[in-house]
Amino acid sequence: LETLISPPELIVWLLDRKYPCKQLKSLNIVSEVYRGLAAFDYDTFDEVLVLLPHCTPSLTTLRLSFFSGPGTIQWLDKHASRGRVGSPSGPLSALKGITTLKLELSRSWEKEVTGVIPHFVAQFPGLQHLIYPQLPLNLAMEPAKTAFLKEIALTCPGLKTVAIGYTLVNLDTLIS
């Protein structure tokens, strides 16, 4: 098994086995869509993230797909704030092998979360490529998009490229 797309509960079950997925190269953690009115518990994302460094040494690509609204911004901010008050700490900072991060967010609250993204992304020590599949509506105008990309470049000096929608930006050329 090299690629897995699943909700966090199933990933925890798969990784917490006697013989975990050592060859896993790409993982997509998906928040549940069909939970009715109950809010999704993002602490289950943390359960997966804590297991990854020990169970999946080949993992290089991590995709986080957030479909449930309540709690997402708080979860992202919780991890982003760890880097604002010193060096990165927590489960994201232990993911040294992750070189590509793909963030899939619900359009209904992308505006609130774009300010958190640079600090969230900075928690991944080996990250080189960030993929934001859809252009957030609040970044549709070029000045806002450029400011967002510059903040990412300054906050994450090891990051090489950011893809937003269909646009690939080399961060080295952006800040020079």
Question: Residue 76: is its pLDDT beyond 80?
Answer: yes
For the segment 115-147, what is each residue's pLDDT rounded down to a tens digit? Answer: 888 999 999 999 999 998 887 777 778 888 888
In the three-class reduction of DSSP (H, G, I as helix; E, B as strand; rest coil), residue 115 is classed as: coil
Is the whole-model pTM more than 0.85? Answer: yes
Q: How many CB atoms lie within 10 A of CB 33?
A: 10
Which positions ≥6 away from 173 have C-beta within 8 Å? none
Question: Residue 88: is its pLDDT beyond 70?
Answer: no
| Residue-level pLDDT at 68 | 63
- For the chain, what is the mean pLDDT? 85
Amino acid at 5: I
CATH architecture of the domain covering 3-170: Alpha-Beta Horseshoe (3.80)
The domains of the chain are located at 3-170
For the segment 22-75, what is each residue's pLDDT rounded down to a tens digit? Answer: 889 999 999 876 555 567 788 889 999 999 998 888 999 999 998 766 788 888
Exposure b/e, 96-131, CB count within 10 A at least 16 = b: ebbbbbbbbbeeeebeebbebbbbbbbbbbebbbbb
Amino acid at 29: I
Q: Are strands 161-164 and 129-132 parallel, antiparallel or unpaired?
A: parallel
Q: What are phi and psi of 50, to 5 degrees?
A: -70, -35
Which positions ≥6 away from 38 have C-beta within 8 Å? none
| Residue-level pLDDT at 47 | 93
